[in-house]
Amino acid sequence: MRARSPLAPPPIIEALTQSEGVSLVGRVLLTLPYWWSALSKLGHLDAALAEAEHLGLEPAPLIVAATLIVQAFGSLAVITGKGAWLGAGALGVFTALATLIAHPFWSLADPLERFHALNTFLEHIGLIGGFMLAAALLTRPADRR
């Protein structure tokens, strides 16, 4: 009998990490900022258009429509696992572009503003990593997940 590694998770943690329910909750939480944003933009189209215009994104109606499509369908793909690689990839690319546009920490003179913008920038990079993991895990055969 092999000795259990001291770094191995306890059986309850191992069971949780293998649970489809935990995986589903994780996918819902990973995509929360995106599907919530899509719903919010749908409910407040005037604010969504103003945000796009404020960021210099034109034509604003086309940008908002594309954003809604990527956020809603990308989230749905990751949550359901159907076309997850495509949804995760779309949300990852969207996040990279949006982060570069909306959080240019390198251009801020005020140290406190730069500090906060850098932290937000890095949080978004972390989300991209989460989408990379989701795509990798959800495209594996079921017996290897």
Tokens of 70: 């990527």
What pLDDT score was predicted for residue 3?
77
pLDDT digits (tens, 9 = 90+) for 112-145: 999 999 999 999 999 999 999 999 999 987 656 5
| Cα 78 to Cα 60: distance, rounded to the nearest angstrom | 27
What pLDDT score was predicted for residue 141?
77
pLDDT digits (tens, 9 = 90+) for 82-120: 999 999 999 999 999 999 999 999 999 999 999 999 999
Domain boundaries, the chain: 32-140
What pLDDT score was predicted for residue 82?
95
Note whether 70 and 94 are within 8 A (CB).
yes
Average pLDDT for 31-57? 97
pLDDT digits (tens, 9 = 90+) for 56-69: 999 999 999 999 99
| Cα 11 to Cα 21: distance, rounded to the nearest angstrom | 17
pTM of the model: 0.88
The alpha-helical segments, DSSP class H, found in the chain are 11-17, 20-43, 45-54, 60-80, 84-102, 111-138
Residue of 26, 25, 27 whose CA lies nearest to 87 = 27
Q: Work out the percent of the chain whose per-residue pLDDT is above 90.
A: 86
Q: What is the dihedral of CA 141, 95, 76, 34, to 10 degrees?
A: 140
Angle of the 111-138 helix axis to the 60-80 helix axis, nearest 10: 50
Please list, residue by residue across 29-43, b when 16 or more beta carbons sit within 10 angstroms of its beta carbon and e when fewer do: ebbebbbebbeebee
